[in-house]
Amino acid sequence: MMYHSLNHKARTSSFKNAVIKGLAPDRGLYFPDRITPLPDRFFREIDKMSNAEIAYEAIRQFIEPEIDPDSLYRIVEETLSFNFPVKTFNDNLSVLELFHGPTMAFKDVGARFMARCLGYFNKNNPETITVLVATSGDTGGAVAHGFLGVKGVNVVILYPDGKVSDIQERQLTTLGQNITALKVDGVFDDCQDMVKQAFLDLKLTDTMQLTSANSINVARWLPQMFYFLFAYKKLYRQYDEIVFSVPSGNFGNICAAMMAQQMGLPVRPFIASNNENRVVTDFLQSNIYEPKPSIQTISNAMDVGNPSNFVRIQNIYHNDIDILRRNLVSYSYTDDQTRTAMKELYESFDYIADPHGAVGYLGAMDYLKDHPETHCVFLETAHPTKFLDVVESTIEKTVELPDQIKSIMGKPKSAIAIKSYSELKDFLLSKTD
């Protein structure tokens, strides 16, 4: 499959080049040249397939023949070596749990898939690739874990000092090996800006092979379409109209859902549930797209003031706001509403949600008010203990730590403090000597 830049000023690219480069040379996001719908039978008989079979059939058109079918199947199988449970509360409401991977955040799937693709392409390449990534919380851990020990790849993670949870910080600062964490004196947008500046810096890009592992990278973004197929498989025999409420920050996950829809998944619209970072919610109302500095909230992985995948969503719906409004609904919630939702989930359903999942639940409940005939599935994108302080103080109960998290609690954190882009640049250049 070839990919083109959504800025339309760069040449088309192979999948391999798109994965290694991250962004197109004209700074646009890559997008596949074609989306071929899967046969109707795929959706009619999806419950006869394993998760790996579903995922392989869905993603192969975007990747073969650059990765051969046997290797791609293996990559998919290894990526998906954990569960994606759906729990149904009542006729209108289910939760899709995406936190059963090694860092207990949904980003594990994208990170593991991308790491394996890069590993495949880099098998016979003597040059080291540096993965540079900004994180508002969960990306860092998932990427660090996904790439840990991958030969020929160094990972450098920027995170806003003091603005990620203790467990999130441990997940990205305790691994060592080929992973380095840089704590930035600033907010997530400062981290993201530094990463963008590095990709534009010829002094850097001429001396080292830099790539991103944010959801702008097609290999991080596309595999997220699997979740929606897996949940559909579990629910479609029982419910006619299924709708997903997706807690959204950079809009990569929901945009991957829309790719599944383009391939024939009979779901519409998608609900983007946001915290107070409400640029898309406001856009759908006013038709004015106005990026804002990000606002810090208790659902910090969604503290994004200018969601990078929104251009892909616009492209899917032909940059037509009416088509977009038929396919995307967006709500925004305050931290107080989020906490109330966490209490409500706990009291009504004995379910402990993290703040991101709670925002998803709020979106589902608002949508159901006007569409009581639908079955809404909200995504629980992180394990509640990743946000232990907020969760325990809100539901007034102590929560048991899962093994993945217990194992990192005693380990010492190690991160380098930086204040400015020039410090980042010096650090990266020092690595090439």
Ligand X SMILES: *Cc1c(COP(=O)(O)O)cnc(C)c1O
Of 346, 338, 355, 341, residue with least CA distance to 395: 346
Residue 122 or 214 with smaller CB distance to ligand X:
214
Contact between 144 and 172 (Cβ < 8 Å):
yes
- Candidates 345, 376, 382, 424; binder of ligand X (CB under 6 A) is 382
Minimum CB separation from ligand X for residue 109, in Å?
Answer: 11
The residues that bridge with 182 in the sheet, in sequence order, are 158, 416
Residue 46 or 218 with smaller CB distance to ligand X:
218
Residue 10 or 189 with smaller CB distance to ligand X:
189
Q: Assess 215 for contact with ligand X (CB under 6 A).
A: yes
Interactions with ligand X, residue window 71-90 (CB under 6 A): none
Report the first-to-last Cα separation within the chain, whole angstroms. 36
Contact flags string 384-423 toward ligand X, x per CB under 6 A: ----------------------------------------
Interactions with ligand X, residue window 283-302 (CB under 6 A): 301-302
Please tell me the distance from the alpha carbon of residue 152 to that of residue 68, in angstroms, as a whole number. 21
The residues that bridge with 247 in the sheet, in sequence order, are 273
Residue 161 or 380 with smaller CB distance to ligand X:
380
Minimum CB separation from ligand X for residue 248, in Å?
Answer: 4
Residue 122 or 381 with smaller CB distance to ligand X:
381
Contact between 183 and 253 (Cβ < 8 Å):
no
Active site residue 107: yes
The tokens for 200 are 């534009």
Interactions with ligand X, residue window 241-280 (CB under 6 A): 247-253
Closest residue (Cβ) to ligand X? 138
Interactions with ligand X, residue window 153-212 (CB under 6 A): none
Residue 46 or 405 with smaller CB distance to ligand X:
405
Minimum CB separation from ligand X for residue 139, in Å?
Answer: 6
Minimum CB separation from ligand X for residue 69, in Å?
Answer: 28
**Which residue type, as a one-letter code, is found at position 262?**
Q
Minimum CB separation from ligand X for residue 413, in Å?
Answer: 19
Q: Compute how many residues bind ligand X; rule: CB under 6 A.
A: 17
Interactions with ligand X, residue window 12-31 (CB under 6 A): none
Minimum CB separation from ligand X for residue 255, in Å?
Answer: 8
Residue 98 or 415 with smaller CB distance to ligand X:
98
Minimum CB separation from ligand X for residue 157, in Å?
Answer: 14
- Candidates 58, 105, 218, 342; binder of ligand X (CB under 6 A) is 105
Q: What is the 3-state secondary structure (H, E, C) of the chain?
A: CEEEECCCCCCCEEHHHHHHHCCCCCCCCEEECCCCCCCHHHHHCHHHCCHHHHHHHHHHHHCCCCCCHHHHHHHHHHHCCCCCCEEEEECCEEEEECCCCCCCECHHHHHHHHHHHHHHHCCCCCCCEEEEEECCCHHHHHHHHHHCCCCCEEEEEEEECCCCCHHHHHHHHCCCCCEEEEEECCCHHHHHHHHHHHHHCHHHHHHCEEEECCCCCHHHHHHHHHHHHHHHHHHCCCCCCEEEEEECCCCHHHHHHHHHHHCCCCCCCEEEEECCCCHHHHHHHHCCCCCCCCCCCCCHHHCCCCCCCHHHHHHHCCCCHHHHHHHEEEEECCHHHHHHHHHHHHHHHCCCCCHHHHHHHHHHHHHHHHCCCCEEEEEECECHHHHHHHHHHHHCCCCCCCHHHHHHHCCCCCCEEECCHHHHHHHHHHHHC
Residue 204 or 354 with smaller CB distance to ligand X:
354
- Candidates 21, 107, 234, 278; binder of ligand X (CB under 6 A) is 107
Residue 249 or 305 with smaller CB distance to ligand X:
249
Measured CA distances, 421 to 30, 164, 192, 305, 333 (Å): 25, 20, 11, 20, 33
Minimum CB separation from ligand X for residue 4, in Å?
Answer: 22
Minimum CB separation from ligand X for residue 24, in Å?
Answer: 20
- Indicate which residue of 9, 48, 87, 107 is catalytic: 107
Interactions with ligand X, residue window 298-357 (CB under 6 A): 301-302, 356
Interactions with ligand X, residue window 355-374 (CB under 6 A): 356
**Which residue type, as a one-letter code, is found at position 209?**
Q
* Contacts to ligand X by CB under 6 A: 105, 107, 137-138, 215, 247-253, 301-302, 356, 381-382
Which residues belong to the active site? 107
